Chain A
């Protein structure tokens, strides 16, 4: 098992993990650059340490809530950048068991900050863990059986079967694989869930949570009293919004033909080209 940390928009980080708010010119540019579209971005080889941009799906979805309170302005000016931690493993090969993407409930740390004569609560860090279990078919289902990224020798491709392989891959391009498959389709499919769908929903919900939390205030005499007053409220707000993120994530379609399958089709297309080019070079 390997652990990878992905910090979308990391290049624009300022200070200790805080990024410019999306309402600022810098913030808008940062989000636009880091999260350009719904198109899957993980285009490197399976199991590698790919650059995994997290598409939010819809740039309009990351606009900040109206800044109608001092607290909300403060939140927008110092957004916490969520840390996404992925454990990716490769399970035993199986022709029946599914590849999966699991996501844990996000967690946060926070702090009390002085605000004029009172106190406010501010998120300091947010972390979301996930696990991808890549369960590939047995090697005889892949035109290039090793390594597990479609880049190896096309040792399962012959003069007699290459046309069948191409047809089968094309026929099952965005649905459940047929007799033949591509390693990359599985990798891209599961990473679409993690980067585009899960991270997208968490980020959208986090903006709402931050703005709402930033509106909390306390006139308590001490920081400890303010913490006792504000932290439970902040926790409830955070959990409610993360629950909403999960509900939205769960509702995203994952049936054959849906966006994750379409994301995986890029792997199929690349493999089809390889097989066709191989057949051509062999004058089959």
Chain B
């Protein structure tokens, strides 16, 4: 079963580099959408790629190894989004150090091995979004 999930992101002004990232269930959906309750750590479910004006990758997160506290086989590890609702969190990445200029910040989501409990399989979820970023 392939779930339709949509990514949204907003950059947070100031330093260190921060952004709010949210997953949403489209308003046109006909059923609730389950997504992982905990979206951290950065680089795991949500990866960052920053591209310069020439399209070259100038920064990207490395996927960390992480030990979840919520069992991916458990319902507690998920949030059910009704159509039109979203679930997100704010990420802070202190490693980002960019020269002044214009960039595309690409946020890529995957539910990894969080494929839902046996009674509610989610399948693979993927989406991405790009936010324009001007570093002054």
Partner pick for A175 among B64, B66, B71, CB 8 A cutoff: B71
Is B38 within 8 A of A98, CB to CB?
Answer: yes
Is B63 within 8 A of A98, CB to CB?
Answer: no
Interface centre among A135, A189, A246, A254 (most CB of B within 10 A): A254
CA distance A255 to B66 in the complex (A): 10
Interface string of A232-257 (1 = CB under 8 A from B): 00000000000000100010001110
B68 sits at the interface (CB 8 A): yes
Is A255 within 8 A of B113, CB to CB?
Answer: yes
CA distance A100 to B44 in the complex (A): 10
A79 sits at the interface (CB 8 A): no
Is B67 within 8 A of A99, CB to CB?
Answer: yes
Q: Contacts A175-B71, A177-B69; is A98 near B41 (CB within 8 Å)?
A: yes
Interface size on B, residues (CB 8 A): 19
Is A98 within 8 A of B62, CB to CB?
Answer: no
A103 sits at the interface (CB 8 A): yes
CA distance A190 to B66 in the complex (A): 8
B136 sits at the interface (CB 8 A): no
A95 sits at the interface (CB 8 A): yes
B65 sits at the interface (CB 8 A): yes
B contacts with A: majority SS: loop
Interface string of A207-230 (1 = CB under 8 A from B): 000000000000000000000000
B80, chain A: closest CB distance, angstroms:
17
Is A98 within 8 A of B67, CB to CB?
Answer: yes
For A137, list chain B residues within 8 Å (CB).
69
Number of A-B contacts defined by CB within 8 Å: 63
Is A193 within 8 A of B38, CB to CB?
Answer: no
For A30, list chain B residues within 8 Å (CB).
none
Interface size on A, residues (CB 8 A): 29
B126 sits at the interface (CB 8 A): no
Q: Contacts A94-B69, A186-B67, A255-B113; is A102 near B37 (CB within 8 Å)?
A: no
A111 sits at the interface (CB 8 A): no
Which residue of chain A has the shortest Cβ distance to B43 in the bound complex?
A102
CA distance A177 to B43 in the complex (A): 23
Partner pick for B71 among A104, A133, A190, A256, CB 8 A cutoff: A256
Is A100 within 8 A of B65, CB to CB?
Answer: yes
B92 sits at the interface (CB 8 A): no
Is B37 within 8 A of A96, CB to CB?
Answer: yes
Q: Contacts A97-B38, A98-B38, A98-B40; is A193 near B69 (CB within 8 Å)?
A: no
B70 sits at the interface (CB 8 A): yes
CA distance A57 to B106 in the complex (A): 35
Which residue of chain B has the shortest Cβ distance to A198 in the bound complex?
B65
B32 sits at the interface (CB 8 A): no
Is A98 within 8 A of B66, CB to CB?
Answer: yes
B72 sits at the interface (CB 8 A): yes
**Which positions in B face A, CB cutoff 8 Å?**
37-38, 40-41, 43-44, 62-73, 113
